[in-house]
Amino acid sequence: MKSEIQLTFENCKRENRPALLTYTVASDPNKKKSLQIINSIARYADIIELGFPHSTPVGDGGQIQTSSNRAIKNGFKMRDSFQIANKFKKNYKNKPVILMGYYNMIYQYGENRFLKDCKKSGVSGIICVDLPWPENKDFAKKCKKKSINFIQLLAPTTTKDRMKKIIKDSHDMVYYISMLSTTGGKLKVSPRKILENYKKIKRMNSKKNLVIGFGITEKTIKSLKSADGLVVGSLLCKTITNSLKMRQNPVTKLDKVVYNLKKKII
């Protein structure tokens, strides 16, 4: 049986557009609002990435750090990510939710218990920032057994040989990090160059759905629209931060931002 993630990409392909993936942090700015946010932006987003915030996110820049700290300060607990996902799935039965975060959180929760709760709450995939290949081999296998997508990451520094091995062990979706940067960095590589790398990876296995993330904003998204999918994260976290500063409702603000992003790629 095809996974929800696979079906989503196929659907987008039929519509001749990339999938739009949004990343927001669970419980940012609080549990209730973060659910409202994803409920609202899911009208435009194809796949919802929900971050479980960590206190020491070494791969993330300032925007996601701020969101993560806010969520933790507001009492985030690991079980909240499952509850948020579960409630979301009641409204959007077929829209995939991907949980994303750092390995220590999964490790402390217990890998098996984590996967069991993913399954129960309708989570379709997992991205673990600091569990690279081959360290992730065992966990990725466990995910596959549970029909949960373990999403492998590729970076501009990943060698061709290594890419081949990683792609071989990947499931339906692979995530290409556009540039050498933490999340939220300014796009310092030309979209043309990014797409060149993207195509090289696609040539290794055209069946894998390859998404591009890092540095994607309202300004850059259009130039990358030939990809299978595009991930926007830091921009959304920043929007939440700014709307809180301005005492505006982050839900309506984010709704507008994601609507505009979507408009640029259809």
Partner 1 sequence: MSLKIKKGIPLIDQHDKNGMWGGKFGGNFVPETLKKPIEDLEKLFSKLRKDQSFIKERDYYFENYVGTPTPLIKLDNLTDHLGGAQLWAKVVSENPGTAHKVYACIVHCLIAKRAGKRYVCTDTGAGMQGKNLAMVAKKFGLRAKIFMGVRDLVRQKKNVDVMKKYGAEVVPVTSGSQTLVDAVSESMRYWVANCQDVHMVIGSTVGPSIFVKISGYSTSQISRELKVQLIEEFGEIPNKLKLLNCVGGGSSAYGFWSEFIDYDKKHVSLIGVEAGGSKKSKLHAAPLSNNSKLGVLHGAKAYCIQNNDGQIGETESLSSGLDYPSVSPLHCFLKDTGRAEYTSATDEEALNAYKLVSKLENISPSLEPSHAFATAISLAPKLSKDTILCIDSCGHSLKDSDIIKEKLGFYTE
Kindly list the residues in this chain that would bind partner 1 in the complex (CB under 8 A). Answer: 54-62, 65, 69, 72, 76-78, 102-109, 129-135, 153-159, 162, 177, 180-182, 185
Any idea of the CA torsion for 71, 33, 52, 61, to the nearest 10 degrees? -60
Q: For the CB of residue 1, give the shortest distance to partner 1 in the complex, in Å.
A: 29
- DSSP letter for each residue of 190-241: -HHHHHHHHHHHHHH-TTSEEEEESS--TTTGGGGTTSSEEEE-HHHHHHHH
Is the Cβ of residue 50 or residue 153 nearer to partner 1 in the bound state? Answer: 153
Q: For the CB of residue 139, give the shortest distance to partner 1 in the complex, in Å.
A: 12
Is the Cβ of residue 153 or residue 258 nearer to partner 1 in the bound state? Answer: 153
Q: For the CB of residue 221, give the shortest distance to partner 1 in the complex, in Å.
A: 21
Is the Cβ of residue 78 or residue 224 nearer to partner 1 in the bound state? Answer: 78
Is the Cβ of residue 146 or residue 165 nearer to partner 1 in the bound state? Answer: 165
Cα–Cα nearest to 230, from 45, 7, 92, 15: 45
Q: For the CB of residue 213, give the shortest distance to partner 1 in the complex, in Å.
A: 12
C-alpha distances (whole Å) from 183 to each of 7, 24, 62, 64, 227 are 27, 13, 8, 7, 19
* Active-site amino acid positions: 49, 60
